[in-house]
């Protein structure tokens, strides 16, 4: 059996009349509030219940509370079972309030709250866990009770429903999270309970035992109650079960998922409205109506994957059942229409059951005279704009409170006054989707936000609201907007898109605008290839012969001596997720590196305790090495020093790595091609290495400077290091580190370059070109 996981209950604001109108008190002097603070060193169970001297336990406060007063329970674990002794009035209820959320819980085998014979009481956000032989919440012969939020849970060995209502009238259970034993039940309303609304509850089983005839998620045995907008998961007998006396019950907009028994069992209840529910993955029938059930309506429901006993936790002894089953006299007394069914991998023609005979939709129509507008299929296309808005208890809004929406691309085939309502618990709203791409420019401290990939809902997008996170908000009809920041920092940027129907969608992300300190390329020491990545989210690979756009990285000051590397091509910062990826537009710990200078002039990047390395020329850079080896070294090439040429002052000719680098360098070219281009690697301490494009080798002052310069070295050692001298006339000169001599275009450029001059003259000057 498939089971959905249950998310934590989201706190919801209270609305409505005075019965639900209350606020959390803020002043200790407010006489209408009695405070319970177990963790307070000043607490006393014989005190005044003020903030200055609160009660230590809940019971003494509840014993004192009267109409119009509130007991405010703060942080603590309270091993108590509380019986509320006072009633309120509709305008002045007694309120018990948990103001500490999950930090305040009643816990233990007998923990819980009891209301017996009282009225007009509000229980707000209370929490009970690990009850065993008594309900976590027990309401008896009570009226005007409002349960707002809260968590009520049994231990795995619990022997009663988690929440039990006996003889309760004129009451509501709203947004409560109930957790009960699959074999006993979650929330039970007895035959004397009437006029109770269960709305937006989450009812979950502790385990998923497959034994039938045991617990229901919600058991209703009294008349004229409502189960609305709720989620029920698991339970051995049924998600929701209606007994013979549950006449006039409304079961609307609920989601029932998983369980060893039925999704919804109507066992003899009359005049029930089972409308717009989504029911899936139960071992037995999704909806079963049996016994002396009359006047039942089953309409606008969506049922999927029910009655498949070979799923996990289903009893293999059970015969496969159906999505909708009518049994006994109910087959002649039930309206079934406008439902969608899909029986998963079960054989076709088994979606329905009539007195135990499984059949397909056509056969069911013929045999029962029902289901004229049912569909076999539960995709959005199948259920959209096709419900019966005249069905009993039809809800004008869906489970989430959203109004019905008309998809103009889908024919309206529904019935009743709203022909475009959807089947099932949730309406397809046709909301737009928002997509946001942020392109940073660290040099300009600006960002361009592009929402062009956003998609419209039922109407075109007409408005883009860009929020740049620094108080700047721009509203316009086009999807691209730019902004320049006045200060560095990390900002949350967003776009909200909408159309004429006012349905909106928002996409947001963080961008880090850091101070750029330079733009570089990384030339791998391992294979003398530049690292590059042209696509966001794809690994950085050392596979480029030259420093192109894909390899250009902005160095940014990330604080604390660390740097971030921003890929200009992908508009993302490089980060460590085991391999190096341009992934994020903001900087976290994964995107900060120590830029280390090694003794040989190379650099290394360290993130945490590991170093960036080159595994090969085809695999992404990794961040796994704990020491620096040849693979963890890179030559730093400032972008401004890449793809340069040298024009000799001696003859106005360009220096070339002649014969693809096989011959010494000589100034004899009138134009610049690949052999005439060089990168100047920054080796630190004012020294550079000259890297020839002709053969991807470093230029060497060969034989300690005695021989002409030649591009034939795989690394930059002592003979391959030069100082770039910038002359006052705008030219540059190269001084070889190995012999402290200047490079000259010997014989007016007629001979190869050689480092043998002690001073700078016209033959030792070069114009550095781009």
Q: Contact at 8 Å (CB) between 248 and 254?
A: no
pLDDT band at 183 (very low <50, low <70, confident <90, very high): confident
pLDDT band at 2 (very low <50, low <70, confident <90, very high): very low
Q: Contact at 8 Å (CB) between 642 and 521?
A: yes
CA-CA distances (angstroms) from residue 45 to 62, 77, 236, 481? 11, 16, 43, 62
Q: Rounded to whole angstroms, how far apart are CA atoms 679 and 657?
A: 13
pLDDT band at 208 (very low <50, low <70, confident <90, very high): low
3-state secondary structure of 674: helix
CA-CA distances (angstroms) from residue 333 to 58, 290, 327, 330? 51, 10, 10, 5
| pLDDT on residue 314 | 77
Q: Which CATH class is domain 437-508?
A: mainly beta
Q: Contact at 8 Å (CB) between 514 and 487?
A: no
Q: Rounded to whole angstroms, how far apart are CA atoms 421 and 400?
A: 14
Second CATH level (architecture) for the domain 643-769: Trefoil (2.80)
Q: Rounded to whole angstroms, how far apart are CA atoms 3 and 258?
A: 5
Structure tokens at 583: 């992934």
- Reply yes or no on whether the pLDDT at 313 is more than 80: no
| pLDDT on residue 5 | 33
> Do the domains 643-769 and 515-639 match in fold?
yes
Classify the C-alpha dihedral 479-480-484-488 as positive or negative: positive
| pLDDT on residue 307 | 87
- Quick: pLDDT tens for 46-75: 989 999 999 999 999 999 999 999 999 999
Q: Which residue has the higher pLDDT, 183 or 96?
A: 96
- Give me the percent of the chain exceeding a pLDDT of 90: 88
Q: Rounded to whole angstroms, how far apart are CA atoms 468 and 463?
A: 16
The domains of the chain are located at 1-180, 185-429, 437-508, 515-639, 643-769
- Give me the percent of the chain exceeding a pLDDT of 70: 93
- Quick: pLDDT tens for 743-756: 999 999 999 999 99
pLDDT band at 320 (very low <50, low <70, confident <90, very high): confident
- Quick: pLDDT tens for 240-285: 999 999 999 999 999 999 988 999 999 999 999 999 999 999 999 9
Q: Which residue has the higher pLDDT, 588 or 329?
A: 588
- Reply yes or no on whether the pLDDT at 101 is more than 70: yes
pLDDT band at 308 (very low <50, low <70, confident <90, very high): confident
CATH number of the domain located at residue range(s) 515-639 in this protein: 2.80.10.50
The partner residues of 515 in beta bridges, in order of sequence, read 557
| pLDDT on residue 7 | 32
For residues 125-150, average pLDDT: 98
Q: Contact at 8 Å (CB) between 237 and 267?
A: no
- Quick: pLDDT tens for 511-557: 999 999 999 999 999 999 999 999 999 999 999 999 999 999 999 99
């Amino acid at each position: 059996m498939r089971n959905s996981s249950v998310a934590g209950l989201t706190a919801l604001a209270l609305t409505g009349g005075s019965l639900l109108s209350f606020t959390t008190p803020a002043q200790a002097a407010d006489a209408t509030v009695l405070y319970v603070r177990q963790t307070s060193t000043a607490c006393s169970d014989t005190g005044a219940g003020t903030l200055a001297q609160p009660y230590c336990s809940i019971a003494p406060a509840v014993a004192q509370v009267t109409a119009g007063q509130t007991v405010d329970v703060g942080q603590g674990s309270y091993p108590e079972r509380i019986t509320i002794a006072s009633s309120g009035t509709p305008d002045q209820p007694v309120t018990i309030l948990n103001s500490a959320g999950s930090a305040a819980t009643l816990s233990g085998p007998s923990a819980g709250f009891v209301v017996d014979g009282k009225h007009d009481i509000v229980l707000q956000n209370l929490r009970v866990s690990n009850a065993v032989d008594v309900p976590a919440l027990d309401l008896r012969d009570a009226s005007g009770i409002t349960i707002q939020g809260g968590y009520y849970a049994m231990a795995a060995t619990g022997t009663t429903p988690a929440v039990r209502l006996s003889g309760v009238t004129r009451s509501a259970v709203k947004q409560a999270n109930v957790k009960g034993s699959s074999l006993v039940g979650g929330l039970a309303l007895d035959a004397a309970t009437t006029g109770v609304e269960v709305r937006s509850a989450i009812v979950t089983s502790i385990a998923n035992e497959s034994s039938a005839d045991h617990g229901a998620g919600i058991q209703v045995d009294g008349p004229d109650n409502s189960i609305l907008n709720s989620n029920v998961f698991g339970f051995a007998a049924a998600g929701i079960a209606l007994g013979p006396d549950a006449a006039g019950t409304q079961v609307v907009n609920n989601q029932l998922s998983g369980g060893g028994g039925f999704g919804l069992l109507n066992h003899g209840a009359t005049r029930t409205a089972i409308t717009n529910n989504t029911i899936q993955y139960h071992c037995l029938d999704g909806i079963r109506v049996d016994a002396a059930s009359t006047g039942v309506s089953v309409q606008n429901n969506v049922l999927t994957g029910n009655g498949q006993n070979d799923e996990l936790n289903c009893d293999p002894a059970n015969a496969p059942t159906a999505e909708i089953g009518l049994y006994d006299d109910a087959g002649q007394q039930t309206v079934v229409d406008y439902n969608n069914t899909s029986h998963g991998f079960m054989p076709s023609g088994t979606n329905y059951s009539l007195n135990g005979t499984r059949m397909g939709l056509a056969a069911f129509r013929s045999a029962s005279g029902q289901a004229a507008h049912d569909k076999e299929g539960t995709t959005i296309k199948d259920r959209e704009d096709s419900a019966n808005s005249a069905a009993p208890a039809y809800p004008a809004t869906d489970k989430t409170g959203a109004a019905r929406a008309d998809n103009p691309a889908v024919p309206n085939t529904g019935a009743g006054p709203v022909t475009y309502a959807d089947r099932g618990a949730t309406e397809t709203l046709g909301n737009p989707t928002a997509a946001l791409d942020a392109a940073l420019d660290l040099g300009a401290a600006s960002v361009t936000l592009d929402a062009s990939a956003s998609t419209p809902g039922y109407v075109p997008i007409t408005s883009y609201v860009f929020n740049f996170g620094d108080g700047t908000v721009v509203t316009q009809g086009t999807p691209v907007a730019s902004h320049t920041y006045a200060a560095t920092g990390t900002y949350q940027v967003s776009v909200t898109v909408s159309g004429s129907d006012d349905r909106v969608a928002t996409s947001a992300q963080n961008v880090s605008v850091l101070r750029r300190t330079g733009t570089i390329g990384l030339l791998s020491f391992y294979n003398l290839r530049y690292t590059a990545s042209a696509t966001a989210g794809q690994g950085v690979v050392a596979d480029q012969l030259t420093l192109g756009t894909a390899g250009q990285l902005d160095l940014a000051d990330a604080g604390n001596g660390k740097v971030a590397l921003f890929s200009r091509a992908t508009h993302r910062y490089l980060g460590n997720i085991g391999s190096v990826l341009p992934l994020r537009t903001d900087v976290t710990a994964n995107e900060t590196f120590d830029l280390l200078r090694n003794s040989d002039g190379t650099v290394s990047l360290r993130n945490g305790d590991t170093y960036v390395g080159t595994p090969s020329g085809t695999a992404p850079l990794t961040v796994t090495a704990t020491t620096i080896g040849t693979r963890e070294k890179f030559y730093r090439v400032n972008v401004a020093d890449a793809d340069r040429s040298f024009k000799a002052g001696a003859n106005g000719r360009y220096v070339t790595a002649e014969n693809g680098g096989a011959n010494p360098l000589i100034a004899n070219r009138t134009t610049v091609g690949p052999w005439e281009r060089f990168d100047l690697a920054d080796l630190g301490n004012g020294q550079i290495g000259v890297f020839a494009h002709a053969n991807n080798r470093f230029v060497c002052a060969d034989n300690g400077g005695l021989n002409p310069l030649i591009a034939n070295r795989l690394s930059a050692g002592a003979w391959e290091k030069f100082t770039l001298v910038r002359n006052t006339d705008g030219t540059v000169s190269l001084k070889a580190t190995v012999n402290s001599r200047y490079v000259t275009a010997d014989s007016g450029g007629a001979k190869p370059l050689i480092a043998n001059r002690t001073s700078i003259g016209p033959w030792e000057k070069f114009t550095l070109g781009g």
